[in-house]
Amino acid sequence: MSPRILVTGAAGFIGSHVCEALIARGDEVVGLDNFDPFYPRQLKEQNIAALRGRAEFRLVEADITRDALPLAGVTAVVHLAAKAGVRASVEDPVAYTAVNVTGTARVLEAARETGVRRIVVGSSSSVYGDATPRPFAEDAPAVEPVSPYAASKRAAELLAHVFAHLHGMRILCLRLFTVYGPRQRPDLAIHRFIDAIARDRPVPMHGDGSSEREYTYISDAVDGVLAGLDWTGRRGPGCVAINLGGGERVRLDRLIGLLARASHRDARIERCPEPPGDVRLTAADLGRAERELGYRPRVGIEEGIGHFVRWYEATHGRQS
């Protein structure tokens, strides 16, 4: 019998890609999503359109903060359900704590109660904040989140450590660095930028363009998630955090230029103040990811942006 994996957040950007990859390698998937109205349900339905009707995939519409989880026959959990977005979390920290902390505690407890010991938890590079030396290493002495979203992700990691310690679970917390690519959430910067460029609208650039991010193409992130899932099957009890990044820091002004060139258009920049909760730089130390998971990012920023722009134009059409 094929392994059965529960994927929370299955209709989201990363979750839908992970579900497809698991099925492609022969696993069965139970996908769970509550279709949070943070962005239109229609977009999430499109994300899982290719999965619906597959015998290996079952979708359960449920909320991790209040509903029973479909863990019957499940051998491992990939927990990606979360309220995402640094800036939105500043406006509503209570909701982010409820989903990302309490929701994660419920997923971990439900897994413990049903004897599921292998869990991958989707965390974020946001947990490092601004104080951590670069590149960010998982064992850095200072991990100081600067937004409610980042704090909720760090709290989820701490819960994972507690459950692993108390109950002999094997948990991997993957700190994802700005994942992008087809199906990316419409609120994320790369999606907003290309939408503005395509419609000949001003591109809102926060700060002077010198801030830097490490961007991870979706296929690399999925490879890391699947490698992490396999890792939980090889290791004994415990909880470990591992970075998943793209291997390159990219300035904001360069990113906008790459999007403009890939779409054969000009970008009209609108300068905006730096928002609260954002960090100026992210950079991943990928040494542990390579040692533990065999992870090496394969898609560079120029190639990845090209793939993303082609997907955007195929999905939304070339604007006049």
Q: Is 149 a residue of the active site?
A: yes
Nearest one of 220, 236, 238 to 290, comparing CA atoms: 220
Q: Which residues pair with 173 in a beta bridge?
A: 121, 241
Question: What is the end-to-end Cα distance of the chain in Å, rounded?
Answer: 52
Query: Within its chain, how far is the Cα of 131 from the centroid?
Result: 22
Q: Which residue has the tokens 């939105």?
A: 88
Which residue is catalytic, options 149, 180, 215, 217? 149
Nearest one of 143, 144, 151 to 97, comparing CA atoms: 151
How many Cβ atoms from other residues are within 10 Å of residue 274's Cβ? 12
Q: Which residue has the tokens 């415990």?
A: 238
Q: Measured between alpha carbons, how far is 212 from 250 in angstroms, rounded to an integer?
A: 5
Show the tokens assigned to 217. Answer: 């193409």
Show the tokens assigned to 59. Answer: 């979708």
Q: Measured between alpha carbons, how far is 288 from 138 in angstroms, rounded to an integer?
A: 8
Q: Measured between alpha carbons, how far is 200 from 212 in angstroms, rounded to an integer?
A: 25
CB of 256 closer than 8 Å to CB of 269 = yes
Q: Which residue has the tokens 């990302």?
A: 100
Q: Which residue has the tokens 């869990």?
A: 119
List, by residue number, the catalytic residues. Answer: 149
